[in-house]
DNA sequence: GGTCACTATTGAACATGTTCAGAAATGAGG
DNA sequence: CCTCATTTCTGAACATGTTCAATAGTGACC
């Protein structure tokens, strides 16, 4: 998190300071309560300075996204070593992803509202979010690639993105989940994975290829 | 739309005036551009007056919801007379629902952002939205009740709400749909309905009852 | 060390939804 | 037609993210 203090120019140090203070504040106070004026005040600079280094508040959220997804990757990779079962590997990516979000659950409605618009720069499907998004897509890609059971090659291209979309939908459910320890989200994920495991052999049936292909095509086009 | 002018006290007329101007503005300018000051100005009153009659901007959105869902009902009911096939009847409710939203597609991201938070008063799942929400749930209930094929009675209670949630998810897809005439949303709906029609006979199989029941239970608890 | 283009910083200004103390209007009871 | 409590209305105030003209600082080149 703390961005290599010491070296770097004055400007880079100011930028890093603002970034670190903003990220800490997002964690502690959420999106709404993290105001530009508060960040500026804690960093000992003026409002204009924060907006000079980060053109908007949402640019700071992108820094947060990157941080969260890098930790997602760091948490998932070692666990992916432990199994070569496709469904289990997907479960690892989903579960470690949710685990990263958990500290933010209190503030999830605020972030959701700011991010859900297709026009928002912090929409996970926006071009501005591509760097952090690709980390997650990459994880799903690796989960598939390292699995013992191979899927038809025609699915390889779109499937990771579709799974990332599934992860976003799961996160949407998670935002609305008021159960203790997000127990209902866990149950939904477990049941979904069990269903997937049961129906996976069917993918190889010729009759199912076409409807699946069509469904995947529809999903693949979803973007902000 | 226009709220019985003429009769009614001065206060009621002011309230109706503000309401009508707000609803027209939502349609023409969307959520963001419809500012309280603009409404007040067009109504020839002060900012404080609009907030006296409608405690918040979102209270005016509730008026819009009600208007839209009443038209949804008016559009769906006659078409429900034309078929007693369950899946076709559900299709009527879905399609007439989307048709009501269509004029707002330009502004859908704004409305989505304002409504998606579980803490928002205009969240369709909030208690504040219950009146308009129940119109939609009622439509699904009637679609089921008037169908020739009867479902197991145990589903009757939760299914209409679950279908309403499905409609919300479809609307989410619709918000992100950039295709000409929302052609992709139509296709998704058609394919979903076809799939439903094919799998409906399976509902009567004992083995599927429990997983279905569990799924429905998870879904039924989703609320804002 | 002086010059000067570029980089970095400042804080006032703007529009937004909402609040609220106070002013004005209303209308029921005499 | 008064009285006066209640209802209705007003507009200034607040906090928010963002913009921008003006100022200050920095550092490369002579």
Contacts of B116 in chain A (CB under 8 A): 112-113, 116
Residue-level pLDDT at B7: 57
Report how far residue A215's alpha carbon sits from residue A45's, in angstroms, rounded to the nearest whole number: 51
Interval A12-59: pLDDT, tens: 899 999 999 999 999 999 999 999 999 999 999 999 999 999 999 999
| B188 near A CB under 8 A | yes
Terminal C-alpha separation, chain A: 28
Residue B166, token pair as written in the block: 């499905």
Tell whether the model's pLDDT for residue A177 goes beyond 90.
yes
Report how far residue A54's alpha carbon sits from residue A39's, in angstroms, rounded to the nearest whole number: 12
Q: Which residue of B has its CA nearest to A212?
A: B191
Q: What is the DSSP string of B12-32?
A: HHHHHHHHHHHHHHHHHHHHH
Contacts of A116 in chain B (CB under 8 A): 112-113, 116
Residue A135, token pair as written in the block: 């980390």
**Inter-chain contacts counted by CB atoms under 8 A, chains A and B:** 58
Q: What's the pTM?
A: 0.94
Residue B183, token pair as written in the block: 């052609």
Higher pLDDT, residue A73 or B6 = A73
Tell whether the model's pLDDT for residue A209 goes beyond 90.
no
Q: What average pLDDT score do residues A98-109 get? A: 98
CA(B107)–C1'(C15) in Å? Answer: 20
CA(A48)–C1'(D21) in Å? Answer: 12
Closest CA to A22 of A134, A4, A133, A45: A45
Report how far residue B172's alpha carbon sits from residue A85's, in angstroms, rounded to the nearest whole number: 33
CB A178 within 8 A of CB A109: no
Residue-level pLDDT at A8: 67
Residues 28-87 of A with CB under 8 A from B: none
| A5 near B CB under 8 A | no
* Mean model confidence pLDDT for chain A: 93
């Amino acid at each position: 998190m703390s961005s290599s203090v010491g070296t770097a120019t004055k400007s880079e140090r100011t930028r890093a300071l603002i970034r670190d203070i903003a990220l800490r504040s997002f964690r502690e106070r959420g999106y709404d309560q993290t105001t530009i004026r508060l960040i500026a005040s804690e960093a000992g600079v003026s409002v204009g300075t924060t907006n000079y280094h980060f053109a908007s508040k949402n640019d700071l959220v992108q820094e947060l996204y990157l941080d969260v997804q890098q930790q997602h990757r760091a948490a998932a990779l070692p666990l992916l070593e432990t199994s070569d079962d496709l469904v289990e590997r997907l479960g690892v990516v989903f579960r470690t992803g949710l685990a990263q979000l958990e500290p933010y659950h209190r503030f999830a409605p605020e972030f959701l509202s700011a991010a859900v618009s297709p026009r928002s720069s912090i929409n996970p499907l926006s071009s501005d979010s591509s760097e952090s998004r690709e980390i997650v897509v990459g994880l799903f890609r690796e989960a598939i690639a390292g699995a013992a059971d191979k899927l038809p090659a025609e699915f390889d291209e779109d499937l990771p993105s579709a799974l990332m979309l599934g992860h976003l939908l799961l996160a949407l459910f998670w935002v609305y989940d008021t159960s203790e320890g997000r127990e209902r989200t866990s149950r939904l994920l477990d049941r979904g994975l069990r269903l997937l495991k049961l129906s996976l052999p069917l993918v190889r049936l010729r009759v199912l290829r076409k409807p699946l292909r069509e469904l995947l095509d529809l999903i693949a086009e979803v973007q902000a």
